[in-house]
Amino acid sequence: MTGIRLELRAQSPWWLNVLLPLGAVGATLVLCSGLVVLAGADVFTAYSKLFLSSLSTAFNLVETVVKAAPLVFTGLAVTVAFRAKFWNIGAEGQLLAGAMAAAFIGAREGLPAWSLVPLMIAGGALAGSVWALVPAVLKTRYKVDDVVTTLLLNFVLFYGMMALLDGPWKDPLSGYPDSPDIRMEAEFPILLRATRLHLGVLLAAVAAAGVWLLLRHTTLGFEIDAVGENPNAARYAGIHLAAVTLIAAAVSGALAGLAGVGEVAGIHFQVMAGLSPGYGYTGIVIAMLARLNPIGVVPAAVFFAIIITGAEAMSRATGVPVFLADVIQGMALVTMLAALMLTQYRIRLNRPGHE
Amino acid sequence: MNEILSQVFQVGFFAAVIRIATPLVFGTLGELFAERAGVLNLGIEGIMMLAAMAGFSTAFFTGSLWLGVLAAVLTGVMAGALMGLLTVSLGLSQHVSGIGLTLLCSGLSFFFYRLIFGQPSSLPKISSFEPLALPGLADIPVLGPILFNQFALVYLAMAIVPAAAFVLYQTPWGLNLRAVGENPHAAYSAGVSVTAMRYQALLVSGALMGLAGAFLCMAQYNAYTFGVISGRGWVCIALIVFGQWNPWKSAAGSILFACIDALQLRLQASSAVHLPYQVFLMLPFVLTIVGMALVSRNALAPAALLKPFRKEAR
């Protein structure tokens, strides 16, 4: 009987790392084209708006790169955590923690002007770390499931932030729930005149290279992978599981926190409710599309930056709801997961007489 | 303090607790069926969101609340089937599949809501379920108004807890389901189809999550908003850990959580405490984490939870 059989692969060839995400994205776009048709729009027009509007002018191109910066950070944050099998779904909260720390430090009048930017970066990374260490400690000390705690802590932090914005941080003049503006000297320097290309974009690129070095060329990186792939073998090899999990969580939280620092110091100069439209969750999709490879995070982040910025233009031009961008993110994660099967298994046809 | 106490110990407060607990009971039991069969269904938050949207839209256009409930349940079942495809048939990571399903379902619910309703200046509303006083029972002093003057879906939730316990512990189907969650290889050797059992558990799970979504936007509220679920699905997953994967204890956990939630709602409205209301919104989430930390050390999770089943590999 002819049938399909799955055969375990010993090793996944390198080209699959490139082909799989492309295939997953292609499948996602085909599946989502049904939604475009349902919305009564022409698929070709809608998709060309979605992809090309963010690349059409030099200004839009720079805006897309600026939008990619926080996504690179959250993608890296998820990459480091997932490599250690620390299920950090809390990058959203850690991002907001970093943003709040940056907004607090950036508005301090007593600090010397030159110290503001470095202190905001350090403070934001620290705040993100601390917020990620809460579920990590609960996991290593009390065996509390990290998925649930990281998710719940996102809500705790969001409501905490809103309480601040509605209380001590509320704008006394306008009454808007926005934090006070950071000082002029605290704003990230602009790298390209007349654009919003700020220091945070450069930091994101440096972070991607740094995480690659960390994972590929350091003992800690090796230990993170060992703990993630086979905790029992790692323990047998003398690796301190809890310590490695905590360090991975701290690094992950710091990266997510830096995403928030960049948004405050480079874009908004304050904290408000809509600071992050789910960058933390998009980071999960990005990390998975990149197959937890820090260098792969960069193109994946740029791809979603294109879609997130392009969705507005598509919606204005064709009437397709802007939330198509959210559907694409979820769908891409699902198709990428399904595609990952191909790295573990080879599809073989069973033919009669060949068994 | 006296003012707070007098506000708490009122019949209306406990009636509110029962109302708030209802979607949590549906969601928790839904998650329970999936987890007892060995699948962590992290799609819960998104499934509740999509089902709420489907149920609300159906009720809005047909004028029939029960058709809305049916649509929500069917939506949940379809999402459960998709979770089955990913985690059972393809054997993919349950963590990432569930997060993917939640992102996909919440994206779809936003997309379709905007497509159907556009951006109207006022929130589209339905006339939601009215409380249904059970004749005789509703007249019992104290207990009557708390338990028996509720929405029809509340009675359904009350009935589903013992029914779930009976099905799980007293029927062959329940035995097979638990066997598949504890030791799928043994169950397979005994002739139980692990795949079929896990799919069935996920379909039931999706249906119950659909009921949770339906209740929220058709009984508790009369509209769908993007924040209609706001973390209740994740709370359900925590409540299962708290309830040690037992339907009675999980339902009790739901009621306990609902008490805290109702209390914070009263405190928000009270003039005795001066804090931004978000501090109170935060409270149930903080206490859920504390609760999980207290019980997690001796958690009794199903042994095969999170493990995909392949009959050829052990």
Domains recognised in chain B with CATH numbers? 10-118+158-298 (1.10.3470)
Residue B65 has pLDDT above 80, yes or no: yes
Tell me the shortest Cα–Cα distance from A69 to chain B, in angstroms. Answer: 21
**Do B285 and A152 lie within an 8 Å CB cutoff?**
yes
Which residue in chain B has the smallest CA separation from A141?
B297
Residue A146: Cβ within 10 Å count: 24
User: Measured in whole angstroms, how far is the alpha carbon of residue A205 from the centre of its chain?
Assistant: 14
Question: What is the architecture, at CATH level 2, of domain A3-350?
Answer: Orthogonal Bundle (1.10)
Residue A353 has pLDDT above 60, yes or no: no
CB neighbour list of residue A117: distance below 8 Å, 6 or more residues apart: A185, A186, A188, A189, A199, A265
Give the largest Cα separation in chain B, rounded.
Answer: 65
**Do A327 and B231 lie within an 8 Å CB cutoff?**
no
**What average pLDDT is seen over chain A?**
91
* Mean pLDDT within A190-195: 87
Tens of pLDDT, residue by residue over A287-299, are 999 999 999 999 9
What is the residue extent of each domain of chain A? Answer: 3-350
Pick among A5, A291, A322, A337 to test the B interface (most B CBs inside 10 A): A337
Which residue in chain B has the smallest CA separation from A85?
B95
Residue A355 has pLDDT above 60, yes or no: no
**Percent of the residues in chain B that have a pLDDT greater than 90, as a whole number:** 68
Tell me the shortest Cα–Cα distance from A59 to chain B, in angstroms. Answer: 28
Give the model's pLDDT for residue B304. 85
Q: Retrieve residue A286's tokens.
A: 């990005």
Q: Is A2 exposed, middle or buried (0-12, 13-18, 19+ CB in 10 A)?
A: exposed
Residue B180's pLDDT band, with cuts at 50, 70 and 90, is very high
Residue A350's pLDDT band, with cuts at 50, 70 and 90, is low
> What Å distances lie between residue A179 and A67, A98, A103, A173, B286, CA to CA?
22, 14, 7, 12, 24
Give the model's pLDDT for residue A294. 96
Residue B39 has pLDDT above 70, yes or no: yes
Q: What is the ipTM of this complex?
A: 0.91
Tens of pLDDT, residue by residue over A131-184, are 999 999 999 998 898 999 999 999 999 999 999 998 888 877 777 888 889 999
Give the model's pLDDT for residue A139. 94
B264 vs A: CB within 8 A: no
Give the model's pLDDT for residue A92. 96
* Mean pLDDT within B62-67: 96
B300 vs A: CB within 8 A: no
* Mean pLDDT within A329-343: 89
Q: Retrieve residue B88's tokens.
A: 């059972």
CA–CA dist B215, B223 (Å, integer): 11
Which one-letter amino acid corresponds to residue B267? L
Tell me the shortest Cα–Cα distance from A325 to chain B, in angstroms. Answer: 8
Q: What DSSP designation does A266 have?
A: I
Residue A3's pLDDT band, with cuts at 50, 70 and 90, is low
Give the model's pLDDT for residue A11. 64
Give the model's pLDDT for residue B6. 64
DSSP string, A40-102: T--HHHHHHHHHHTTTSSHHHHHHHHHHHHHHHHHHHHHHHHHHTT-----HHHHHHHHHHHH
Residue A203 has pLDDT above 90, yes or no: yes
The most confident of the ranges A19-23, A71-75, A192-196, B297-301 is A71-75
Q: Give CA torsion, residues A30, A34, A36, A42, to 10 deg.
A: 80
> What's the 3-state SS for B60-82?
HHHCCHHHHHHHHHHHHHHHHHH
Give the model's pLDDT for residue B250. 94
From chain B, the residues in CB contact with A159 under 8 A are: 278-279, 281-282, 285
CB neighbour list of residue B159: distance below 8 Å, 6 or more residues apart: none
Give the model's pLDDT for residue A1. 46
B311 vs A: CB within 8 A: no
Residue B276 has pLDDT above 60, yes or no: yes
Q: Retrieve residue B230's tokens.
A: 């706001």
A-B contacts (CB, under 8 Å): 144
Residue B269: Cβ within 10 Å count: 11
Q: Retrieve residue A122's tokens.
A: 């350090």
From chain B, the residues in CB contact with A325 under 8 A are: 107
Residue A54's pLDDT band, with cuts at 50, 70 and 90, is confident
From chain A, the residues in CB contact with B104 under 8 A are: 327, 330-331, 333-334
* Mean pLDDT within B138-157: 87
Residue B270 has pLDDT above 80, yes or no: no
- Report which of B283, B270, B279, B277 is spatially closest to residue B3, judged by C-alpha positions: B270
Give the model's pLDDT for residue B198. 96
Which one-letter amino acid corresponds to residue B203? L
Tell me the shortest Cα–Cα distance from B275 to chain A, in angstroms. Answer: 8
Tens of pLDDT, residue by residue over A220-279, are 999 999 999 888 899 998 899 999 999 999 999 999 999 999 999 999 999 998 899 999
Residue B269 has pLDDT above 50, yes or no: yes
Give A178's strand partners: A272
> What Å distances lie between residue B25 and B31, B239, B247, CA to CA?
10, 9, 9
B90 vs A: CB within 8 A: yes
* Mean pLDDT within B83-89: 94
CA–CA dist B261, B17 (Å, integer): 8
Give the model's pLDDT for residue A69. 97
Give the model's pLDDT for residue B74. 98
Give the model's pLDDT for residue B267. 82
Strand A3-8, strand B149-150: pairing:
unpaired
Query: Per mean pLDDT, which range of A55-59, A345-349, B240-244 is the poorest?
Result: A345-349
Which residue in chain A has the smallest CA separation from B301?
A145
* Mean pLDDT within A276-287: 95
CB neighbour list of residue B183: distance below 8 Å, 6 or more residues apart: B303, B304
Strand B132-133, strand A345-350: pairing:
unpaired
Residue B224 has pLDDT above 50, yes or no: yes
